[in-house]
């Protein structure tokens, strides 16, 4: 029986991007093969965690690395480790009053909901969030003025979800952190460059394993050996509830190897695939269509569709016999975007056909 039929699920065309609500990415046969080996064999898990961390760290030029079950878990375990600084007492009593250095400074425009709120992850880590600057502006001075003797770290969220304008750059945030002998933790969950931020001087960089890397459900933290060691300790405490299976540890290790060898789809390749798709969409009355770059400056290009009925069109796309998900971040402005990274030519044709049907009603 077909899997979709067996569980009464809809087929999905994912033109939204690498989104958790849709299962993020498709994994390669190479990664599935690695997961199969991992799932069908036994390991000393503590050693597996350490050795795969060392292995992927060497691939990107980091001191060490830790594979976790998600980027969110990476935030929690890294910050908890920084607060505990290797204390066994802290591992077993993560919210103890004995440890008071818990403040983590975050630009106010970075406290976003990416599917869960950033401040919830800080709370799980036992951190006290200290916002810096304003929702529409944060400078190096704003960051520095929030530092106190209780500051444990500075957290920076590199994401299209965050406020983009009038925010200090990553190098500026790193400079403030290091001037005050603090670690700069960078959440780069959906970013595609696995070496860029380490070279800038970030002390710990967190990626989703399932987004740009196209691995299984997982995350990875690259960074200073001391910070990784402290984060690894959390597996005996709060990290136990966030543990990752052996099959996904090995699967992500294989995915990182493959990703570094082959790289992501280039912007030029995306544009080449988009051009005929956009040309077809431009034949549909009532739509203004163009190719646009990702709002956060990533090398990602999408089809932008403007219509007076954007909200209704997105609803109907999702509710069809095949659920078509588009990016809806700007539907209030009448803009729908189609991310084609996980969309093949046949699916693009289905999107065009469905949009034509929907727009005929207007």
Q: Which domain holds residue 74?
A: 43-262
Same domain, 71 and 174: yes
Same domain, 245 and 151: yes
Same domain, 101 and 194: yes
Same domain, 256 and 271: no
Element (H, E) at 104: strand 103-107
For range 296-312, the mean pLDDT: 91
pLDDT band at 1 (very low <50, low <70, confident <90, very high): low
pLDDT band at 265 (very low <50, low <70, confident <90, very high): confident
> What long-range pairs does 113-116 form, CB within 8 A, spacing at least 24?
113/161, 114/159, 114/161, 114/189, 115/20, 115/21, 116/72
Least confident span in 43-52, 90-99, 289-298, 328-337: 289-298
Overall number of domains in the chain: 2
Q: Is residue 10 a part of any domain in this protein?
A: yes
- Last residue within a domain, chosen from 262, 286, 314: 262
Q: Is residue 30 a part of any domain in this protein?
A: no
Write the secondary structure of 156-212 as one string of H (helix), E (strand) and C (coil).
EECCCCCCCCCECCHHHHHHHHHHCCCCEEEECCCCCCCCHHHHHCCCEEEEECCCC
Same domain, 135 and 188: yes
- Last residue within a domain, chosen from 262, 284, 302: 262
Same domain, 161 and 275: no
CATH number at residue 349: 3.90.1150.180
Element (H, E) at 338: strand 335-338
The pLDDT of residue 108: 95
Same domain, 68 and 166: yes
CATH number at residue 177: 3.40.640.10
Q: Is residue 32 a part of any domain in this protein?
A: no
Q: Is residue 36 a part of any domain in this protein?
A: no
Same domain, 275 and 225: no
* Chain segment 50-100, per-residue pLDDT in tens: 999 999 999 999 999 999 999 999 999 999 999 999 999 999 999 999 999
- CA distances to 31, 35, 157, 209, 257 from 253, rounded to whole Å, are 9, 10, 24, 9, 6
The pLDDT of residue 241: 95
Same domain, 64 and 18: no
Q: Is residue 214 a part of any domain in this protein?
A: yes
For range 194-212, the mean pLDDT: 96
- Last residue within a domain, chosen from 262, 285, 320: 262
Q: Is residue 286 a part of any domain in this protein?
A: yes
Question: With contact defined as beta carbons under 8 Å apart, do 103 and 150 qualify?
Answer: yes
The pLDDT of residue 60: 97
Q: Is residue 76 a part of any domain in this protein?
A: yes
Same domain, 61 and 183: yes
Q: How far apart are CA 212 and CA 333, in angstroms?
A: 28
Q: Is residue 172 a part of any domain in this protein?
A: yes
Same domain, 157 and 281: no
Question: With contact defined as beta carbons under 8 Å apart, do 209 and 192 qualify?
Answer: no
Same domain, 15 and 163: no
The pLDDT of residue 359: 95
Phi, psi for residue 193 in degrees, rounded to 5: -100, 115
């Amino acid at each position: 029986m077909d899997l979709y039929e067996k569980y009464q699920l809809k087929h999905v065309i994912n033109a939204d991007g690498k989104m958790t609500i849709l299962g993020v990415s498709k994994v390669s046969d190479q990664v599935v093969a690695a997961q199969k080996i991992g799932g069908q064999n036994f390991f000393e898990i503590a050693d597996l965690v350490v050795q795969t961390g060392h292995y992927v760290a060497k691939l990107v030029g980091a001191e060490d690395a830790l594979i976790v079950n998600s980027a969110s878990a990476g935030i929690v375990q890294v910050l908890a480790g920084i607060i505990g600084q290797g204390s066994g007492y802290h591992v077993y009593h993560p919210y103890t009053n004995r440890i008071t250095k818990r403040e983590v400074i975050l630009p106010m425009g970075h406290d976003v909901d990416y599917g869960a709120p950033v401040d919830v992850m800080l709370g799980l880590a036992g951190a006290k969030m200290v916002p810096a600057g304003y929702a529409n502006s944060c400078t190096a001075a704003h960051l520095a003025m929030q530092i106190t003797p209780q500051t444990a770290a500075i957290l920076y969220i590199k994401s299209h979800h965050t406020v983009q304008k009038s925010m200090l750059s990553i190098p500026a945030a790193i400079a403030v952190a290091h001037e005050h002998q603090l670690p700069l933790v960078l959440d780069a969950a959906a970013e595609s460059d696995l070496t860029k931020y380490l070279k800038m001087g970030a002390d710990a960089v967190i990626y989703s394993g399932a987004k740009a890397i196209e691995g299984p459900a997982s995350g990875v933290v690259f960074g200073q050996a001391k910070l990784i060691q402290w984060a690894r300790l959390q597996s005996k405490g709060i990290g136990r509830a966030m543990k990752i299976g052996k099959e996904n540890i090995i699967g992500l290790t294989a995915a990182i190897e493959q990703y570094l060898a082959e790289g992501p789809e280039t912007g030029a390749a995306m544009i080449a695939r988009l051009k005929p798709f956009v040309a077809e969409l431009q034949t549909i009355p009532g739509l203004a269509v163009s190719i646009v770059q990702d709002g956060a400056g990533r090398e990602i290009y999408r089809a932008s569709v403007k219509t007076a009925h954007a909200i209704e069109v997105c609803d109907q796309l999702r509710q069809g016999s095949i659920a078509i998900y588009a990016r809806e971040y700007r539907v209030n402005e009448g803009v729908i975007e189609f991310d084609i990274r996980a969309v093949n030519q046949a699916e693009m044709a289905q999107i065009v056909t469905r949009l034509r049907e929907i727009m005929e009603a207007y």
